[in-house]
Amino acid sequence: MSDDGAPHEPARPEDTPARTAPTGGLGKVLDAEDFSLADAVGGWRGFAEAAAPGVVFVAAYLIDGTMRVPVIAAVATMVVLVIVRLIQRSSIQQALSGAVGVGIGAIWAWRTGEPSDYFAGGLLLNAAYLVGLIISMVVRWPVVGIVAGLLRGEGTGWRQVPREMKAMQIATALLAAMFALRLAVQAPLYFADQVAALGTARLVMGVPLFALTLWAVWLVVQSARPASETPDPPQPTQ
């Protein structure tokens, strides 16, 4: 019934506002009732697109041993991936986000002449994420809580519930630990100029580690859901 007492007309699909799905892995995972590995890694195609430029870069470096050939090969790989998506008229958002990272690494390595600098941008980005997450926890506005509150439509209400606040802090700490682990492993390899080992570590600690971390984050966030959001068990029929 409407406010004036008149019955509502059935909503037509075209009249229903379309819900904007979160585009990031974190948003998709936190917005889901069940954990989806595909959402966490951006789908298997997204996983392949994220890994391909780095794999090509390391392979070209091992074969050629110089700096320019690996950089050109990695950039060419990313360009091909974007063009394929354009031809297929599929979303290029994820491919473009990867292209930005590849482009920064390629420009950096090209200017310095050091192959290892291809990975410098990624290390700086991980450091920035780590600092941002830690700051959000210190000021008691954990990033995971902000994202979850927006997706659930509850705003900042979670901050008033000690159990939820604690869970959001722990979930954010898990993300921070992932970035810290990446830096702890990859930074020494970068400074030691171990390009092949650095590329391998970046691949292993990229999407696979991110998906594992998101699963742990999802478990923590789900454990803090209010009891009212838990579906009632079916009642036996009389």
pLDDT tens, residue by residue, 192-209: 989 889 988 998 898 889
**pTM here?**
0.74
* Cα 189 to Cα 194: distance, rounded to the nearest angstrom: 5
pLDDT, position 18: 36
For the chain, which ranges sit under pLDDT 50? 1-24, 230-234, 236-238
pLDDT, position 19: 38
Tokens of 182: 């990446």
Tokens 């992932």 correspond to: 178
Residues near 133 by beta carbon (within 8 Å), at least 6 away in sequence? 142, 143, 172, 173, 175, 176, 179
Q: Tell me phi and psi for residue 3, to 5 degrees.
A: -65, -25
pLDDT, position 128: 94
* Cα 3 to Cα 16: distance, rounded to the nearest angstrom: 19
pLDDT, position 121: 86
DSSP assignment of 145-200: HHHHHHHHT-TTGGGGSHHHHHHHHHHHHHHHHHHHHHHHHHHHHHHTT-HHHHHH
Burial tier of 236 (Cβ tally within 10 Å: 0-12, 13-18, 19+) = exposed
Contact predicate 121/101, CB 8 Å: yes
pLDDT, position 1: 44
pLDDT, position 234: 47
Burial tier of 182 (Cβ tally within 10 Å: 0-12, 13-18, 19+) = buried
**In the chain, how many H helices and how many E strands?**
10, 0
